[in-house]
């Protein structure tokens, strides 16, 4: 089915989610290399105006554009749990590659595996199943997503399959130290500053089992930190022995609030964020709130978290 769609299309748009991570962009870049073999027009699209420079080591990074082509006749989305995550409004045949628990199968054709570590694993499986030859660029792109979504192989979901895929990709030319250096060895001053600030202000609830962070707009502007840089503090909170869930609220310039929840698995983050219009995975999920009674909603979320922990 995906092959039929590809074969009958002439201009294929590869779509990564807003503020793409190494998984979304890595999967799209691997697919870009693959599609070159079909002699089709390809566009690598992202709704965001700026994309994290830490991903510039990925092949085709410089091809990213925020202009959606008029003559496109097919889309392929990567790591987008819902149609809204694409940030576009086009009625085109769509192939949906993803691994989010909350994926609602919005594509014409859905290659969704919620037990995959990364979307690049889903794409890798597709390549293997179809006998696609994986070159060095594709291997690096797929490996980057695997590293990122497994938190550099520290996630508890890491399995024989994860390491087998890693081993195969390194054998095919993925450069492990290059990925690690770009993804973990190039932190900005802003990200270190915000980390210090947030850890200092961390609030602990429910016998120190829930950590809560709050980032007002002024702090974002003052430090210059990105949303992703703020969110990385959640993983650090979870490193505390008692903490089972960490929640951050980040004020957005449009007046809304971005909420991110990470858990040790005891609380289903995707389920809770799903109740508030968002989604994700069991251990990490998020949503955006645009209402006026944000404080009230956050209170409700806190109640739900503590209830699940009880």
Site string for Mn ion, 24-63 (x = CB under 5 A): ----------------------------------------
Contact yes or no for 86/77 (Cβ under 8 A) = yes
Rounded to whole angstroms, how far apart are CA atoms 257 and 253? 9
Among 31, 64, 79, 143, binds Mn ion (CB under 5 A): 79
Rounded to whole angstroms, how far apart are CA atoms 114 and 122? 9
Among 14, 23, 81, 96, binds Mn ion (CB under 5 A): 23
Applying CB under 5 A, does 121 fall inside the site for Mn ion?
no
Stretch that binds Mn ion, among 83-91, 111-119, 128-136, 275-283 (CB under 5 A): 111-119
Applying CB under 5 A, does 149 fall inside the site for Mn ion?
yes
Shortest Å distance, C-beta 192 to Mn ion: 25
Q: Compare residues 118 and 268 and give the one whose CB is closer to Mn ion.
A: 118
Shortest Å distance, C-beta 23 to Mn ion: 4
Please give the size of the binding site for Mn ion, defined by CB under 5 A.
Answer: 4
Q: Compare residues 270 and 297 and give the one whose CB is closer to Mn ion.
A: 270
Q: Compare residues 119 and 191 and give the one whose CB is closer to Mn ion.
A: 119
Interface residues with Mn ion (CB under 5 A) are 23, 79, 119, 149
């Amino acid at each position: 089915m995906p092959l039929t769609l590809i074969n009958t299309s002439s201009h294929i748009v590869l779509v990564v989610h807003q503020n793409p991570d190494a998984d979304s962009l890595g999967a799209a870049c691997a697919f870009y290399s693959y599609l070159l073999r079909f002699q089709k027009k390809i566009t690598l699209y992202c709704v965001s105006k700026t994309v994290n420079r830490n991903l510039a080591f990925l092949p085709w990074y410089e091809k990213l554009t925020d202009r959606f082509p008029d003559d496109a006749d097919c889309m392929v989305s990567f790591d987008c749990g819902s149609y809204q995550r694409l940030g576009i409004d086009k009625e085109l045949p769509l192939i949906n590659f993803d691994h989010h628990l909350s994926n609602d199968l919005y594509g014409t054709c859905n290659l969704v595996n919620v037990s995959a570590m990364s979307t690049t694993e889903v794409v890798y499986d597709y390549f293997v199943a179809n006998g696609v030859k994986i070159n060095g660029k594709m291997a690096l792109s797929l490996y980057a997503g695997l590293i990122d979504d497994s938190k550099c192989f520290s996630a508890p979901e890491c399995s024989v399959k994860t390491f087998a895929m890693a081993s195969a990709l390194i054998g095919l030319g993925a450069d492990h130290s290059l990925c690690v250096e770009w993804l973990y060895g190039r932190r900005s001053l802003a990200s270190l500053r915000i980390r210090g600030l947030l850890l200092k202000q961390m609030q602990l609830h429910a016998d120190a089992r829930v950590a809560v962070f709050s980032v007002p707009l002024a702090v974002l502007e003052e430090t210059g930190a990105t949303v992703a840089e703020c969110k990385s503090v959640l993983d650090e909170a979870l490193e505390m022995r008692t903490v089972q869930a960490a929640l951050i609220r980040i004020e957005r310039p449009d007046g809304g609030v971005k909420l991110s929840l990470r858990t040790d698995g005891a609380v289903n983050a995707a389920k809770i964020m799903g109740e508030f219009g968002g989604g994700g995975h069991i251990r990490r999920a998020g949503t955006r709130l645009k209402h006026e009674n944000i404080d009230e909603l956050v209170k409700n979320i806190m109640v739900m978290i503590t209830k699940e922990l009880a």
